[in-house]
């Protein structure tokens, strides 16, 4: 059953080829844009690699870069095919090329759509990666003398100031770790000794936060130590007063930033996907309309173009069956090679 059959007079074929040539170059620019967006997202993710536990989220920019580069090649050939479609004598040379061309083009176009879906669906993976990464970053904040961790303090401080956040979930995360190095503690001090002894693990824990948690918009000088001790500060109530430190956790801030970035990129790539799909559909109509002219003396006759010669299921199986046969044959060859070795 032929899908979406249409009649194409000579003038309509010419206009289709000319319009598609222009559309293919627009899609080429869009492909370059997709690659650029992938590079931008990759760069932003790598900037915060020290507070991410894994790189699973990098599948989104990697996919965008791959489909962006593929789109450049797909649309370049589409423009050449459109040029040759204006000359019935040159178009037949593309006959054997077009079937694998459409298969590859459809694969990368679907991959582009998957990249869009992943840009919206990877929130859980991003959040879990940041949860572990930030927890480790806070834990190693004090290790400025440890190789491999000496820049952790600087990274966390810059992160908290740039995103106006404090801690992993919130500022209380700093109460649970020793973030001041032993190098800067006076162990002859009674206060230090008492705090260390009062902790099972022998850590120096304080109800305070690093300076980078301080909110410069607050009219009051920053209170970063003894946050839970009302008597330590004048006119201060820990429970009711709005603290002059950042209250939002860095995980929430980073998830909001990256998901906003990926959702914006996803919307842009979705429009590029629709443009790429339009190029392939139009090119398929042009191909089938031009194939009907092959071998005819009068090349200005009216022809019919269609999207699929058979049904959707039959067309998919036409491409899948050769791949299945190849994989089956390969498996049989491997089994045949393994049999003598076992004997």
Residue pointed to by tokens 């080829």: 17
Token pair listed for 324: 């299945």
**SS3 call for 200:** coil
**SS3 call for 308:** strand
Q: How far apart are CA 269 and CA 1, in angstroms?
A: 33
DSSP state string for 259-286: HHHHHHHHHHHHHHHHHHHHHHHHHHHH
Q: How far apart are CA 166 and CA 155, in angstroms?
A: 13
Q: How far apart are CA 266 and CA 275, in angstroms?
A: 14
Positive or negative, the Cα torsion across 311, 312, 315, 320? negative
Low-confidence stretches of the chain (pLDDT beneath 50):
none
From residue 49, how far is each of 128, 144, 173 by CA, in Å?
14, 18, 20
Phi, psi (deg, nearest 5) at residue 188: -85, -15
Q: What is the pLDDT of residue 178?
A: 92
Helices (H), 89-184: 95-121, 123-139, 152-163
User: Which helix (H) or strand (E) covers residue 40, if one does?
Assistant: helix 10-47
Q: What is the pLDDT of residue 340?
A: 63
Q: Report pTM.
A: 0.81
Q: What is the pLDDT of residue 336?
A: 65
Q: What is the pLDDT of residue 182?
A: 87
């Amino acid at each position: 059953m032929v899908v979406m059959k249409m009649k194409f007079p000579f003038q309509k074929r010419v206009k289709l080829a000319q319009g598609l040539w222009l559309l293919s170059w627009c899609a080429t620019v869009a492909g370059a844009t997709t690659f650029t967006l992938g590079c931008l997202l990759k760069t932003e993710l790598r900037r915060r690699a020290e507070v991410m536990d894994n790189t699973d989220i990098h599948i989104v920019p990697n996919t965008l870069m791959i489909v962006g580069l593929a789109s450049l090649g797909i649309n370049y050939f589409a423009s050449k095919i459109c040029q040759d479609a204006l000359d019935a004598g040159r178009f037949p040379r593309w006959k054997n090329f077009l079937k694998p061309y459409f298969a590859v083009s459809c694969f990368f176009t679907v991959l582009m759509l998957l990249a869009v879906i992943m840009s919206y669906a990877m929130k859980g993976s991003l959040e879990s990666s940041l949860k572990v990464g930030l927890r480790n970053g806070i834990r190693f904040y004090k290790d400025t003398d440890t190789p491999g961790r000496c820049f952790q303090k600087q990274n966390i401080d810059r992160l908290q100031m740039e995103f106006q956040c404090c801690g992993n979930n919130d500022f209380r995360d700093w109460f649970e770790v020793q973030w001041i190095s032993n190098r800067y503690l006076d162990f002859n001090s009674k206060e230090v000794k008492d705090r260390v002894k009062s902790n099972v693990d022998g850590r120096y824990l304080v109800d305070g936060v690093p300076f980078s948690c301080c909110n410069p918009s607050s009219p009051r000088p920053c209170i970063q130590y003894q946050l839970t001790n009302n008597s330590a500060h004048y006119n201060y109530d820990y429970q009711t007063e709005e603290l002059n430190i950042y209250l939002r956790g860095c995980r929430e801030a980073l998830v909001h930033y990256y998901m906003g970035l990926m959702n914006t990129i996803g919307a842009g790539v979705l429009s590029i996907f629709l443009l790429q799909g339009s190029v392939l559909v139009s090119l398929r109509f042009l191909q089938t309309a031009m194939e009907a002219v092959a071998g005819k003396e009068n090349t200005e006759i009216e022809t019919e173009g269609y999207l699929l010669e058979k049904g959707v299921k039959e067309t998919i199986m036409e491409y899948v069956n050769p791949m299945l046969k190849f994989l089956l044959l390969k498996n049989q060859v491997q089994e045949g090679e393994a049999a003598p070795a076992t004997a």
